[in-house]
Amino acid sequence: MPSSKRERQRAQRQAKVAHVERRRRTRQRARRVVITLVVAGAIVGVIVLVSGGSPPKKAASSTTTTTSSTTTTTSTTSPVSHTAIAPTCPPVTALGAAKRVIAFTKQPPICIRRGVHYEATVVTDVGRFVIDLLPHAQLRAVNNFVFLARYHFFDGIIFHRVIPGFVVQGGDPTGTGSGGPGYEWTGNTPSATCAAKADCYAAFDVAYANSGSSTKTNGSQFFIILPGGQTKLSPDYTLFGRVVSGISVIERIGRDGSSSGAPVHIHHMVSVRITQSPAQP
C-alpha cells in the first residue's frame, strides 16, 4: 500500500500540472483575442481607405404628404417659412427666392414693371401648361401672382376644387378651399355690359377666386375656366391670365373632378416659374 507521503507528493505533482495547464490555456486565449483585434483593425482600415476616409452619410430626408391617390414629395433641403413675413420683392430670376414662403403679413408692393411681358410655366403631376399673364387687365393682379410664384408659394399645392365643364381651382396652401397668403386685396371686374352677352370670360381664362363675389377678398386662390364654364360665371372675378399652352393638361385635370367640386383624383402643382421678356409693340 502506498504510504501517505507518496500520496501527498503525487497530489502536489498533479496540482502543479493543472496550474501549468491553466496558465497555458490563459495565454492561448489572450493570443487569440489579440489576433482577432489586429485582424479587425486591419479590415476597418481597409474599409475607411476605400470609402475615402469618411463614414457613409445618411441620405437626405424628405417629407411625404399623401392625399387621396396623389403623393406630393417636398425635399427638406428646400426650407419653407410658415411664419408670416413682411413682403418684399423677390429676386427677378427664374429660380426666384431661395426659400419658399407661404404666409405674409400684408399685400405685396408692386414688383413687376409695365411694358414687360410675363408668363408662368406651371408644372403639374400630369404635365405642364403656360399662362400668359395680362398686366394690362390689372397690374396688381398680375403682380400678386408673380410675387407669390417667385416665393414658390404655389409649389406642391393641390387643385382642391375641380368641376368638369366649369373650373379647375387651386392656390390654397391648406388644400381646403379656405386658405390664402395671409392677406386680401381688391381687384377689378369685367364691364357689367358683358354679362348680357355672357362673354365676360373665355375658355381657359385664369381669374382669382374670392369670397362672396367680392373682389375685395382676392388672395392667392385662382381658377382656370373649362369649356362651358365661361357662360356660367357672373362678372365678379378679376381676370389676370390665359392658358396658351398645355391645354390638354387642364382638360385632363378637369376630367378628374366631380359635380360637387371634390376631385376624384387629386392633382397638384409641382412648380410655378415666371419668365419675362420685353412686351411686343
Q: What is the pLDDT of residues 133-176, one digit of tens each?
A: 988 778 999 999 999 999 999 999 999 999 999 999 999 999 99
Instruction: Give residue 28's pLDDT.
Output: 66
Average pLDDT, the chain: 81
Which is more confidently placed, 49 or 4? 4
**Number of Cβ atoms within 10 Å of the Cβ of 92:** 14
Assign domain 62-278 to a CATH class.
mainly beta
Segment 123-134 mean pLDDT: 97
What does the pLDDT look like over 61-120, one tens digit per residue?
222 233 333 333 343 345 787 889 999 999 998 789 999 999 999 999 999 998 899 999
Segment 217-225 mean pLDDT: 97
Has residue 36 got a pLDDT over 50? yes
pTM: 0.72
